[in-house]
Structure 1
Amino acid sequence: MTAAAREAFEKAVALENAGQVDKALVSYLKAQELSPEDTEIAYRTASALLQTGYLEEAQSQLRRIVFAEPDHLGARASLGNCQLLLGDTDNAKQNFCEVLERVPTNRNALFGLASVLLKENKPDEAAVAAKYLVDLLPDSAAVLTLFAETQARTDQKAAAIAAYRRALKSDPDHGPALLGLAETLLLRKRFDEVIELTIRASENAPADPLPLELLSDALMGKGALEDAIEAAEAALKIEPKSLSTLVRLSTLSRKTADHKAALSYALAAHDLDKTSRDALNALGAALAALKYQAQARSVLTGLATGTGLEAPIRKLVQELVKEDGAQPAAPAKTFRPTTGQETAETSDLPKESSGTTTSVDGSSPHSSEGLTVRSDQLPNVLGLRRQDRS
């Protein structure tokens, strides 16, 4: 390593240690240009590329390192992480296993292997690797969350909840743990705790629709249908082509007797995925609620036979929605979940108290337009706020 390369490299390391990975990458690339044969520089550069999301570039560099030095286990484990993120689970698994054959305690390889096994729907096998990793890193929120997921997937719900809580004790804002615990508690109908967890998750990751989807489900479970609609509308604003959210809004609209909106959302969901059973079920239910029993049966028959939605029924649905005077949907109101003190309008729900996976090192033509817009209503649950569209 030349003196100039050493200077650039040391600057990069200092920047990375200070959490400025983007700036560190610039210096790593400069050091590599000055000393292209240096494996240490190449590996640290590849790791920075991986952490900053340049997956293809990181994979190419890591492959070169592993080809030149097959025993570079750090590069092989990182290559596995990169391949996992790119969806190449077969090669990722092979690399993780090769590392673990030589070093059974390699943390990144254990984490990566457990993640691959979960993707392969082998949670029992994944739990073995994850438990071993917990023994090595008992206070890691990422590791505890991974282990909790293996327990939830093997129907060990109590163990999953305990592990999620341990993860949140270690890192109260760990998004995967907040959402994993919320999903598990939702199955147990512990709606108040789910509401609290999903509000926290949404505050920490406002661009992620999943916390709002789970929040909507919890509010629906409590019977707070208007607030559930508000949360689902906010999720749809973030991800307008979400099939699950469109179906959820159709169901909620039907439950609040807004059957035309239910039809509109269900048709939009069907147009996103004409093979979706959920979308056709929602459409059939909305038609049945409007007393179009024969047409509802036809939709369900089409679902059973795989023939899909018949043209006359589509025309009927479109006419019903138009009849209702529905206008193209304005953007959903900004949904601002808060955990502050409730006002008189927001205090009718009692609270209960509650206690995308990356590697261990962190290296890690249809639309919903034309949907019925909900009327403006005051929020009444946990300080959920709407803002005027004007």
Structure 2
Amino acid sequence: MTKKAIITIHLVGMLLITLMFLVDFSSNVRGENYIGALANEGISLYRQRRYPEAKIALEKAILIKKEPNLYYLLGNTYYMLGELEKSEDTYREALKIDPNYMPALQNLGRLLYKEKKYNESIAVFDRVLAKDPEDIKAIRFQAGSYHGMGNMPKAIEKFEQIHRLNPEDSETIKILARLYKSSGDYSKAIVFYQKLLALEPNQAGHYLSLARAYVK
């Protein structure tokens, strides 16, 4: 084989490799664009509250590319359609990819609370609080879960934690006053009714509640 023939074969080989690379690159770009278009369509439809159509677009997108944010959006869509079991499963899929994906953790915890799966909800919000110990919403859901399970001491403990983080939240103070009163701890109930009156002195009902706590 002549030197010229060898050079020609080499050049043809390089050209074929280049063409294969360009085809593969072009295919990847088209694929990424297609996924992006599906995701954007799903987001747009979700914002327009066209949930059945958003569901179709997002389901197609995650078949091609499994990303936590896509699973999260699809989980939200299932929730809005009342498909709670699918919503829960989809949030869990997002967390398999990224165990610390906070939006999915928070919504999974809320969904479990709504379904009265209180122990599971508490466990999920423990993971949220491991990242942000002062997340009041997470603590509030845990407090509600303990209350739903009838565990008043733990519910009080969590509401006390919220009160320390936000001392002027009148709703939390009111809840603590009632919880202490229903638990028979009238001295603590009085303390919180007094705090409530200091914040809302024009609410006549607070004076009546305080008086009743004293009578007991």
Query: How high is the TM-score relative to the length of structure 2?
Result: 0.64
User: Contact 1:246 / 1:268 at 8 angstroms: preserved in 2?
Assistant: no
- How far apart are residue 167 of structure 1 and its match? 1.1
2:190 corresponds to: 260
Within 5 Å, give how 1:1-390 maps onto structure 2: 105-106=36-37, 109-110=40-41, 112-113=43-44, 116-117=47-48, 123-138=51-66, 140-240=67-167, 242=169, 245-246=172-173, 248-257=175-184, 258=186, 259-260=189-190, 263=193, 271=200, 313-314=204-205, 316-317=207-208, 320=211
- How far apart are residue 320 of structure 1 and its match? 3.6
Separation in structure 1 between the aligned mates of residue 61 and residue 165 of structure 2, nearest angstrom = 35
Other structure's SS at 2:47 match: helix
Other structure's SS at 1:177 match: helix
**1:50-94 alpha-carbon deviations (Å, 9 max, x no partner):** xxxxxxxxxxxxxxxxxxxxxxxxxxxxxxxxxxxxxxxxxxxxx
Larger Rg belongs to? 2
User: Contact 2:177 / 2:190 at 8 angstroms: preserved in 1?
Assistant: no
Separation in structure 2 between the aligned mates of residue 111 and residue 243 of structure 1, nearest angstrom = 40
Gaps of 5+ in 2: 1-32
Query: Cα 1:246–1:174, aligned 2, differ >3 Å: closer, same or farther?
Result: farther
What code does the residue aligned with 2:183 have?
T
Structure in which a larger fraction of residues adopt helix: 2
**1:356-383 alpha-carbon deviations (Å, 9 max, x no partner):** xxxxxxxxxxxxxxxxxxxxxxxxxxxx
Separation in structure 1 between the aligned mates of residue 45 and residue 145 of structure 2, nearest angstrom = 30
Gaps of 5+ in 1: 1-101, 272-308, 325-390
- How far apart are residue 172 of structure 1 and its match? 1.2
**1:182-213 alpha-carbon deviations (Å, 9 max, x no partner):** 11112222221112111111111223211111
Query: How high is the TM-score relative to the length of structure 1?
Result: 0.39
The Cα RMSD (Å) is 3.7
Separation in structure 1 between the aligned mates of residue 133 and residue 179 of structure 2, nearest angstrom = 23
- How far apart are residue 222 of structure 1 and its match? 1.9
Q: What is the identity percentage for the equivalent residue pairs of Structure 1 and Structure 2?
A: 19
Separation in structure 2 between the aligned mates of residue 157 and residue 148 of structure 1, nearest angstrom = 9
Query: Cα 1:225–1:163, aligned 2, differ >3 Å: closer, same or farther?
Result: same
User: Contact 2:112 / 2:121 at 8 angstroms: preserved in 1?
Assistant: yes
Query: Cα 1:111–1:238, aligned 2, differ >3 Å: closer, same or farther?
Result: farther
Paired positions, count: 180
Separation in structure 2 between the aligned mates of residue 186 and residue 168 of structure 1, nearest angstrom = 18
**1:296-346 alpha-carbon deviations (Å, 9 max, x no partner):** xxxxxxxxxxxxx9x58257348649969xxxxxxxxxxxxxxxxxxxxxx
Separation in structure 1 between the aligned mates of residue 61 and residue 171 of structure 2, nearest angstrom = 34
Q: Which has the higher contact order (CA 8 A, sep 6+)?
A: 1
2:3 corresponds to: none
